[in-house]
C-alpha cells in the first residue's frame, strides 16, 4: 500500500513512517499541502494522512482540493488540537477518519486494516461492474459435441494453474473460454485482466503489460502498474498474442519463467502471480517458421490447447444461440422478447457465418430493431448481412 504522509512536523512524519513501513507500506512524505498536491498530480496513493494545522495551506483546504480533483484515496486527518467540531468538519468534507495527537499505535493499526478492507471492496466493486457489463449473458452456449468437449475440458483444467492457449477464428468466443477458466478457478475472486495485443501499438505494448516508471518516456508523467501487476492473484488474458512484437514476447517469456517483471524505465524486479491464458486466430506454428513468434514462448503458453470451432462447424447450436441473443438484445433495448418463426431459424442456419458468433449477435440485434413482433423468414432474407 502506497501512503502519502503530510505533516509540517518532522518528528510526527518519522514516527508515522516507522509504523507504516513496519506494516509493509511504501511511504512518501510531504511537508505541506502544496508539496502534497504536486505528489498527487504525479503519483497514485492508496491512503493519505494529513495534518489539519499546517502553514501555507491547512488540512481542510487540502481536503477540499483533493476532493475537487476526484482523488479516491481515503484521507485520515490528524490534529494536535482536536475538537469535536474539527472532527465533524473533516468527516463532512469527506475524510475517512480523524485521529488526535499524540498518535495511538493501536488506533493507527486498526485504521490501516479498515483502509485495506475498504480499498479491496472498492476494487472488487469496480471489477464486478466491469465484469457484469462485459459478461452479461456470456456463458458458453451450445450442445454440439465440439462445445460439450470444450466445456468438459474447461471444468477439468480450470482448478489448476496450467497455462492455456485458446485458438480459433475471430468472433468464435475465445474470450468466453478464458473467462470460464477464470470463473471456475481458485482465482475467481481476484481480477480477470484482458489485453488485446492486436489493438495496442507495438511501441506501447510493453508499457501496457509491464507498466512504466515516471519519466520512462515523454508521456510517462507518473508511475503506472502494468497488466501483469494488476492481474496478480488472478488471471491475465492475452488476446491475439500472435500479434505481439518479438521484444515484448521475450519479456513475457521471462515473466512466465521467473514470475517477475520490470517496469519500462525501471530496474527493480517485481514479483507477480497470475495465471496466463492466451488466445490467437493465427497458426502460431506457421508464425514460428516465419520467425514472427518465439517457439520457446509457444511451448510455455500451450500447456493446454483448446480450439474453438467456427460457427459454420457447429450449426446445430445456432437455434440455442438465436434464443440467447434474442433475450439479451431485447433486454438491452427494454422491449418484450420477440418471437422468431421456425423457417427464419432454418434460414439463419443456412447462412455462411464468416464473422462467427459475433456476426450472429449483430444480425439478431438488427432483426430485433427492424422486424415486427415476430421475426420471419422474409425478415432474415431482407435484413441479413448483404455478404450472405
Tens-digit pLDDT string for the chain (388 aa)? 899 999 888 888 898 899 999 988 999 998 888 888 888 888 889 999 998 888 888 888 888 888 888 888 899 988 887 677 888 888 888 888 888 888 888 888 999 889 888 888 877 776 665 554 444 434 789 999 999 999 999 999 999 999 999 999 999 999 999 999 999 999 999 999 999 999 988 788 888 999 988 877 767 777 889 999 999 999 999 999 999 999 899 999 999 999 999 888 888 899 999 999 999 999 999 999 999 999 999 999 999 999 999 999 999 999 999 999 999 999 988 999 999 999 999 999 999 999 999 999 999 999 999 999 899 999 999 998 655 4
pLDDT at 82 (0 to 100): 65
Q: How many whole angstroms separate alpha carbon 282 and alpha carbon 74?
A: 46
CA–CA distance, 112 with 107 (Å, rounded to integer): 9
Widest distance between CA atoms in the chain: 81
Residue 343: per-residue pLDDT: 95
For residue 6, the cross-strand partners are 30, 50
Is 136:328 a contact under the CB 8 Å cutoff? yes
What pLDDT does residue 130 have? Answer: 55
Q: Which residue has 439463419 as its cell numbers? A: 348
Nearest to 8 by CA among 27, 45, 35: 35
Q: Does domain 2-119 have CATH number 3.40.50.2300?
A: yes
- Cβ atoms of residues 235 and 286 within 8 Å: no
| Domain 136-309 superfamily per CATH | P-loop containing nucleotide triphosphate hydrolases (3.40.50.300)
Consecutive H or E run containing 164: strand 164-167
Phi and psi at residue 310, to the nearest 5°: -70, 165
Query: In the prediction, which pLDDT does 126 show?
Result: 67
Domains 136-309 and 312-383 share a fold: no
Question: What is the domain partition of the chain in residue ranges?
Answer: 2-119, 136-309, 312-383
269 within 8 A of 310, measured Cβ to Cβ = no
CATH architecture of residue range(s) 312-383:
Orthogonal Bundle (1.10)
The cell for 109 is 493499526
| Res 105: pLDDT | 87
Whether cis (ω within 30° of 0) applies to the bond prior to 87 is: no
What per-residue confidence (pLDDT) applies to 1? 86
Return the pLDDT at 388: 44
pLDDT of residue 135: 44
Amino acid at each position: 500500500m502506497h501512503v502519502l504522509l503530510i505533516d509540517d512536523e518532522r518528528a510526527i512524519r518519522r514516527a508515522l513512517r516507522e509504523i507504516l513501513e513496519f506494516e509493509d507500506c511504501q511511504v512518501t512524505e510531504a511537508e505541506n499541502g502544496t508539496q502534497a498536491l504536486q505528489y498527487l498530480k504525479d503519483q497514485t496513493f492508496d491512503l493519505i494522512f494529513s495534518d489539519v494545522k499546517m502553514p501555507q495551506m491547512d488540512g481542510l483546504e487540502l481536503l477540499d482540493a483533493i476532493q475537487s480533483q476526484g482523488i479516491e484515496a481515503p484521507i485520515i486527518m490528524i490534529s494536535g488540537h482536536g475538537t469535536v467540531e474539527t472532527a465533524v468538519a473533516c468527516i463532512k468534507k469527506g475524510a475517512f477518519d480523524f485521529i488526535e495527537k499524540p498518535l495511538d499505535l493501536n488506533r493507527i493499526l486498526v485504521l490501516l486494516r479498515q483502509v485495506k478492507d475498504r480499498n479491496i471492496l472498492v476494487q472488487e466493486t469496480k471489477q464486478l461492474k466491469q465484469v457484469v457489463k462485459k459478461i452479461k449473458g456470456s456463458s458458453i452456449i451450445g450442445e454440439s459435441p465440439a462445445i460439450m468437449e470444450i466445456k468438459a475440458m474447461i471444468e477439468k483444467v480450470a482448478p489448476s494453474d496450467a497455462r492455456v492457449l485458446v485458438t480459433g477464428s475471430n468472433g468464435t468466443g475465445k474470450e468466453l473460454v478464458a473467462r470460464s477458466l477464470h470463473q471456475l478457478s481458485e482465482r475467481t475472486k481476484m481480477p480477470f485482466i484482458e489485453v488485446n495485443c492486436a489493438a495496442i501499438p507495438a511501441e506501447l505494448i510493453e508499457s501496457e503489460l509491464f507498466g512504466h516508471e515516471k519519466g520512462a518516456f515523454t508521456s510517462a508523467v507518473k508511475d503506472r502498474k502494468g497488466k501483469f501487476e494488476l492481474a496478480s492473484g488472478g488471471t491475465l488474458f492475452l488476446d491475439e498474442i500472435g500479434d505481439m512484437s518479438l521484444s515484448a514476447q521475450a519479456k513475457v517469456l521471462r515473466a512466465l519463467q521467473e514470475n517477475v517483471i520490470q517496469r519500462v524505465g525501471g530496474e527493480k524486479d517485481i514479483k507477480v502471480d497470475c495465471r496466463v491464458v492466451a488466445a490467437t486466430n493465427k497458426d502460431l506454428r506457421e508464425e514460428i517458421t516465419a520467425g514472427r513468434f518465439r517457439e520457446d514462448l509457444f511451448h510455455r503458453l500451450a500447456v493446454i490447447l483448446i480450439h474453438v470451432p467456427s460457427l459454420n462447424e457447429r450449426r446445430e447450436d445456432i437455434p440455442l444461440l438465436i434464443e440467447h441473443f434474442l433475450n439479451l438484445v431485447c433486454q438491452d433495448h427494454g422491449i418484450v422478447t420477440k418471437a422468431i418463426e421456425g423457417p427464419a431459424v432454418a434460414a439463419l442456419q443456412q447462412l455462411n457465418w464468416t464473422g462467427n458468433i459475433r456476426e450472429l449477435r449483430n444480425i439478431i440485434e438488427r432483426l430485433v430493431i427492424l422486424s415486427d413482433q415476430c421475426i420471419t423468414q422474409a425478415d432474415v432474407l431482407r435484413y441479413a448481412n448483404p455478404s450472405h
